[in-house]
Structure 1
Amino acid sequence: MSNLLTILGIESSCDDTAAAVVRSDRTILSSVVADQTA
């Protein structure tokens, strides 16, 4: 049985925000980016 971790990563800068859910075997389960447009 393998022990895979599931990781939530969140990044925020002045006008962009991103979030991703990734497994420890580098499989990307979800990834989203939101930007602030004037």
Structure 2
Amino acid sequence: MSDLIMGIETSCDETAAAIVEDGKKIISNVVASQINIHQKYGGVVPEIASRKHMEYIIPVIDKALDESEKKY
């Protein structure tokens, strides 16, 4: 059985999750960008970004798990 690690990351305007196998092989990597949302404001609006992270995090994690095709 191989070791699996999930990484979760949020930057100012991206929410991401990835699963790595045995510390070397990326088996899924999902990124949800907010660039289109913030573009009309000329930059990132922290309150909007925070709310979007909360909205996106579970679907991003679920998609990373699904794309990995591993059983958990």
Please indicate, yes or no, whether the TM-score normalized by the shorter chain is above 0.5.
yes
Partner of 2:13: 15
TM-score when normalising by structure 1: 0.72
Gaps of 5+ in 2: 38-72
- Report how many aligned residue pairs link the two structures: 36
Contact 2:4 2:23 in 1 (8 A): no
Bigger Rg, which one: 2
More strand by share: 1
Deviation at 1:4, TM superposition (A): 2.4
Unaligned runs of 5+ in 1: none
Give the share of equivalent positions with the same residue, in percent: 50
